[in-house]
Structure 1
Amino acid sequence: MLGADNQGSFLNRFSIRRNQFSPSDSVHDQELEDLELLQRHVADGFSDLLSSLNYHDTSSTAAAAETPADAEDTSGHPPPPPPPPFLSIAWFRRLLDVFLCCEAEYKAILLSGRDPTQFSKPPLDRLIPDLLERSVKALDICNAINHGVDLIQHWQKLAQIAVAALRQAPLGDGQVRRARKALTTLLSSMAFDDKENTSSNFHVRWTERTRSFGRRVGITKDRAPANFRSLSWSVAKSWSAAKQIQTMSSNLAAPRGNEATGPAMPVYIMNTILVFVMWAIVAAIPCQERNGLSAHLQVPRNLGWAQPIIGLQEKIGDDWKKKEKKGTSGLLEELQRMEKLAHSLVEFADGFVFPAEEEKATEVEAMTAEMAEVCRRMEEGLGPLQQQVREVFHRIVRSRAEILEVVDQVSKMSTPVPY
């Protein structure tokens, strides 16, 4: 997933900076201004994400209380579109957008115009190695998420098989059996524990269970290796997404005293955002070994920019605890709806008697339409989401390379010249 970086080296800016004279007070004032702006943007970005939760929690009550006059905009402009459902594909796309924007601003503060020798002095000399290590673990998680999205896309195809079968008219035993077989395969795959979901065992089990759907799903004897190449990413059996997150969040303490207004704060902010984003997306997308994921990052409540992040953490953490009890496949809103509908449709199929009663037929028609809508949202959103995950991967790689370049330059500057 390594991409080419067309941006110019930050070292050119460092060289210019070292040849300029600026009073230290002026430099410090500029850093404080940049830090304040970063914190404001972080707060705004995550507050926008939190608004999805608040909006959908209160929308039904508001809709019931709203009158026609209330619904009109007195300014003559149409009302703004509602935020995407909490933990939906569209919501996670916004989350990754916020991450990319914050990362770009943070990198500018950390690197642009800063004397590189600061990287060899406290506090950066101890913070930068931790940041680089977290970046490597985040890259592993991006790879795992990428393949988790592949898995969801195959679940979507199974659901589409069921939808196509149940939309046949008249609905007979053959169509119901075919839909039931696709849905039970879907639910069986979802029921695999997290370690099996993205391991090499998944390829064998999934192809065995969906052999009869090979032509519809696009899996034929000749094409199977190509289609499943993206699922061949192998990790050690002991690799755990939850442990990766826990390791990333360990030893992450908020700066205190004078460090709270220096370069340590933007590094801490970015570390916090990185861990939170990785944690949230692992909770939503199938990944290897997610047990214990609810033990997430602890952020001090006195930090204003962190308040919306804390609110999101609490809600996602509560949902994850419920998920572990129910054994569902993930917190992604579309996945939860798909799983619930699949169970209901299998229950209908188990008791199906031709011809179907009118009331039952109407109920199944509504569930089938809802499943089709879930599939449509997945088909439209999963590809762009996967592309954004790749962009996050590329951005982390580029930023890590630029920081390493600075560290290497400082190391060369401090090495004595032999005579």
Structure 2
Amino acid sequence: MFLTEKPNYPSFFDSFNKEKKKKKEFDLISQSFDESILRRLNTLCNSHSSVTINFSWLSSALAFLSFTHNQAITLLSNPKLTDSSNFYLDDSVKLLDICNSIASEIERLRHRRLLLKFALHLFNNNSEDAEKLRRARASLTDWDNNLKGYRYDSSKNLEHLVIDLAFMLKEVPRGKISSDERIVRRTIHSVGLVTVFVAGVVVAALRGSTELGVAVRAPSEFLWADSFNLLNSAISAELTRPGKKRHLLEELDDVEARLREVIGVMDDAGGEKGGSLNGAVKELERVTETLGEGLERLSNGVNEVFNTVMSSRKEMVERMRVGQQKQQTK
């Protein structure tokens, strides 16, 4: 009797089990992605389902957007699913444009803040000099006049970009597809919903809108749909809240309130106004610094989103290139 080595041919069941294991891992990644979105969403809305819109909240929303794109890359980088991946690549270009436009709006606010800084400089140097007081008051008035052009002229491009991005949500490829392709397209739709929502809120806040430019709702198939739609409703309620101040952004309202207080004291012809003016100027100085810090935080958030999307696009393109090369060498 002779012992012979049995040939080790790969069986059909080995291949089937590998594919089954790979599919299960892909499903688990998709589930983890949904759960991570849900956790992040819950941090953006308090227990009373209300929202206070300020630079801190907007920065958190942008961090959530950046996180969503970063988490999605594992699901979107399958080199075999180029149709859906190409859709994400096309879609994300809109977000890069939105980031650039938001950065431009932040710069506008920074330039407007210089009007406040100039007025404060004049107040602090010599608050008794009539000419300096006149120039300081003119600078404060320019803040308000500058707002009108900013609000009605500069935000149109931003609004149109968000609307275009929302329209692309309806164009996610459909039809008979594999289970992996379905997960990828579902992920694209998730990322699109989060992107349109966050971009819409940032745009509404910067332009002082009373409504979101685009209304989006998550379908019930998503684990995080209830939280997403609840947050959306909370934002809409804040935009239309009775008695809401002039601006959606808390910091801009604070600046305007203190600015009008300073002007009011300056225009008060009766009584002693020296002490009152000094106190009002100090409060204006405080909220002006808070505004500057908020703008810096928001700018960092926008840069983070831009860099994350650029990195995701680069990684996707590289994986697709490697995948195509492997197919060609077979």
Q: Normalising by the residue count of structure 2, what TM-score does the alignment of the two structures yield?
A: 0.77
The amino acid that maps onto 1:135 is: S
Letter of the structure 2 residue corresponding to residue 375 of structure 1: T
Partner Cα distance (1:348, 1:302) in 2: 57
AA aligned to 2:71 is: E
Aligned to 1:352: 268
Q: Is the 8 A contact 1:242 1:292 kept in 2?
A: no
| Residue type of the alignment partner of 2:218 | V
AA of the residue aligned to 1:390: N
| Root-mean-square deviation over aligned CA pairs | 3.8
Deviation at 1:167, TM superposition (A): 5.5
Q: How does 1:376-387 map to 2 (within 5 A)?
A: 376-387=289-300
1:409–1:300 Cα change, 3 Å = same
In 1: Cα distance, 2:36 partner to 2:281 partner: 42
1:410 CA drift (Å): 5.3
Relative distance call for 1:307 and 1:174 in structure 2 (3 A) is: farther
The residue number in structure 1 matching 2:306 is 393
Deviations 1:335-366 (A, max 9, x none): 232233334433443x33265358xx54x555
Q: What residue is the counterpart of 2:11 in the other structure?
A: none
Flag the 1:34–1:45 CA change in 2: closer, same or farther, 3 A.
same
Q: What percentage of residue pairs aligned between the two structures are identical?
A: 20
Find the aligned partners of 2:254 and 2:220 in 1 and give their Cα distance.
33
Distance in 2, Cα, partners of 1:170 & 1:271: 53
Give the stretch that moved more between structures: 169-178 or 339-348: 169-178
Whole-angstrom CA distance in 2 between matches of 1:144 and 1:98: 19
Are the aligned partners of 2:44 and 2:57 in contact in 1 as well (CA < 8 Å)?
yes
Counterpart-to-counterpart distance in 2, 1:308 and 1:368: 42
1:252 corresponds, among 157, 164, 169, to 169
Matched ranges for 1:298-377 at <5 A: 298-301=217-220, 303-320=222-239, 331-349=248-266, 351-353=267-269, 356=272, 362=276, 364-365=277-278, 367-377=280-290
After the TM superposition, which residues 100-249 of structure 1 pair with which residues of structure 2 at under 5 Å, given as runs? 100-111=66-77, 114=78, 116-117=79-80, 119-120=81-82, 125=83, 127-166=84-123, 173-194=130-151, 196-197=153-154, 240-249=157-166
Indicate the SS of the match to 1:392.
helix
Letter in 2 for 1:179: A
Deviation of residue 186 (structure 1)? 0.6
SS at match of 1:298: coil
Q: Is the 8 A contact 2:96 2:309 kept in 1?
A: yes
Q: Please tell me the residue identity of whatever aligns with 1:313.
A: N
User: 1:44 is matched by which residue type in structure 2?
Assistant: R
Amino acid at match of 2:135: R
How many Å separate the matches in 2 of 1:331 and 1:103?
A: 27
CA spacing shift, 1:347–1:386, aligned 2, 3 Å: same
Q: Distance in 2 between matches of 1:101 and 1:381?
A: 20
Q: What is the identity, as a one-letter code, of the residue corresponding to 2:117?
A: Q
Q: Is the 8 A contact 2:63 2:305 kept in 1?
A: no
Tell whether the 8 Å contact from 1:162 to 1:182 is kept in structure 2 after alignment.
yes
Residue aligned with 2:44, SS: helix
Residue 24 of structure 1, CA deviation: 2.5
Q: Which residue of the partner structure matches residue 46 of structure 1?
A: 41
Cα displacement (A) at 1:47? 1.1
Contact residue 88 and residue 333 of structure 1 kept, 8 A: yes
Structure 1: which 5+ runs fail to align?
1-19, 58-84, 199-238
1:292-350 residue CA offsets vs partner (Å, 9 max, x unmatched): 75333232256331333323322333444579x98x5x63321232233334433443x
Instruction: For 2:322 and 2:137, locate their aligned partners in 1 and report how far apart those are by CA, in whole Å.
Output: 63
> SS of the residue aligned with 2:41?
helix
Query: Contact between 2:204 and 2:211, CA under 8 Å: does it hold in 1?
Result: no
Tell me, which stretches of 5 or more residues in structure 2 are unaligned?
A: 1-14
Superposed CA deviations along residues 140-196 of structure 1, whole A, max 9, x for unmatched, are 111111121111112222223334445578656445423311111111111115453
Counterpart of 2:160, as a letter, is K
Deviation at 1:36, TM superposition (A): 1.8
Change (3 A) 1:183 1:391: same
CA distance in 1, matches of 2:43, 2:219: 20
Letter in 2 for 1:308: S
Shift in CA distance, 340/33, structure 1 to aligned 2, threshold 3 Å: same
Q: Deviations over 1:29-81 (max 9, x none)?
A: 22222222221211111211112x849x6xxxxxxxxxxxxxxxxxxxxxxxx
CA distance in 1, matches of 2:271, 2:68: 58
The aligned counterpart of 2:213 is 294
Q: Which amino acid aligns with 1:272?
A: L
- Residue 52 of structure 2 is matched in structure 1 by 86
Task: Name the amino acid aligned to 1:102.
Answer: T
